[in-house]
Amino acid sequence: MCWTRRTVRSRRSRRVHTVVFDRAAAELGFALDDAQRRAATAFASDRNLYLWGPVGRGKSWLMATYFAALPTERKLRIHFHEFFRDLHRAIRRHGSDLSAALDDLLGERDVLCFDEFHVHDVADGKFISRLLAEILDRDIRVIVTSNYPPHSLLPNPLFHDDFLPTIELIEQSLTIIAVDGPVDYRTTADHETGFAAGWWVSPGAPEQLERLGLHPPSPDEFRTLAPAAHPIRVRRATAAQLWIDFADLCENATAPVDYLALTHDFPMWVIGGVPTLRDVGRESAQRFANVVDVLYDRDVVPVFLAAIALTDLTADARLPLDIERIMSRLGQLGRYELDSAGEGRVVEV
């Protein structure tokens, strides 16, 4: 594959000195661990990077710190789901021409930061193989974060071998760095703003809703929205709040592109009727995981009204992929549960 570069670009603006990361960490009250320092040193180079590791070890924070400090506007940081949505739209606009679609999305950018990279679906895997080859042929620095080392991408044994050439391309073209320090920083997050200001409420009794200032929708507030073509039935949709049932959000044919579109209009979501995941199918459980990812990345304030305590969500369930990351994110929420005597208690806030 050959791509004719439009300009010869200076690489100086693609690097950020390690002192930037030290200062950013100090402002938050911690010091870089050894794994984070290895990553910070790599950011000071001009290499393509693939940062992987367990949830909460600072991969996205490192990327965000790098991105904010870059002395250029020719940069793009985007989430996996959002990039796929925008790319498929651009491909349709350009008559299935992937190269032209990437020209449209990337323009003259020098740096592409790709958050939460993963490959679970075989169709996505085939498309990603083409996509990565096209991107890596361009004069652009690529930074990727993932919960998976490259060799664990597309883990389905029926299709993994077909993805090996792409894994080899990643390993040859990007410097692989394990960000696997001893601290899960999500367990130390405050609960004042954004996603972490939300609640896991069980069982969602009237007195619990009243104490949280939540008033259930009336029947005349029901609406059907179509944020990205899929019709979605909601119980309330106002400038301040989206109220929707788990069944309508996760048991129908919705997708991350729908959730992303809804986050643009609704800064707070109430999701009612959340069951234990053992009582729903694998696809519904995976949609719920995708919802949590999107709400977390968009910093939407969620309230989950659940039949069960958070600790029971995954009991005996056929779990969705990436469940450790999902539970880590849900673990940042305040929890308001009723004990066996029906008394309300707030736990792990």
- Please give the pLDDT value at position 78: 87
Higher-scoring residue by pLDDT: 338, 248: 248
pLDDT digits (tens, 9 = 90+) for 275-295: 998 889 888 998 999 999 899
- The hierarchical CATH code for the domain 189-347 is 3.40.50
pLDDT digits (tens, 9 = 90+) for 185-201: 766 655 566 898 899 99
- The hierarchical CATH code for the domain 12-178 is 3.40.50.300
CATH 3.40.50.300-classified regions of the chain: 12-178
pLDDT digits (tens, 9 = 90+) for 99-128: 999 999 998 899 999 988 888 778 888 889
Q: How confident is the model at residue 4 (pLDDT cuts 50, 70, 90)?
A: very low
With a pLDDT cut of 90, the percent of the chain lying above it is: 57
Q: What is the mean predicted confidence (pLDDT) over 139-156?
A: 92
pLDDT digits (tens, 9 = 90+) for 217-259: 999 999 999 988 789 999 999 988 999 999 999 999 898 889 9
Residue by residue, what is the 3-state secondary structure of the chain?
Answer: CCCCCCCCCCCHHHCCCHHHHHHHHHHCCCCCCHHHHHHHHHHCCCCCEEEECCCCCCHHHHHHHHHHHCCCCCEEEEEHHHHHHHHHHHHHHCCCCHHHHHHHHHCCCCEEEEECCCCCCHHHHHHHHHHHHHHHCCCCEEEEEECCCHHHCCCCCCCHHHHHHHHHHHHHHCEEEECCCCCCHHHHCCCCCHHHHCEEEECCCHHHHHHCCCCCCCHHHCEEECCCCCCEEECEECCCCEEEEHHHHHCCCCCHHHHHHHHHHCCEEEEEEECCHHHCCHHHHHHHHHHHHHHHHCCCEEEEEECCCHHHCCCCCCCCCCHHHHHHHHCCCEEEEECCCCCEEEECC
Residue 317, pLDDT above cutoff 80: no
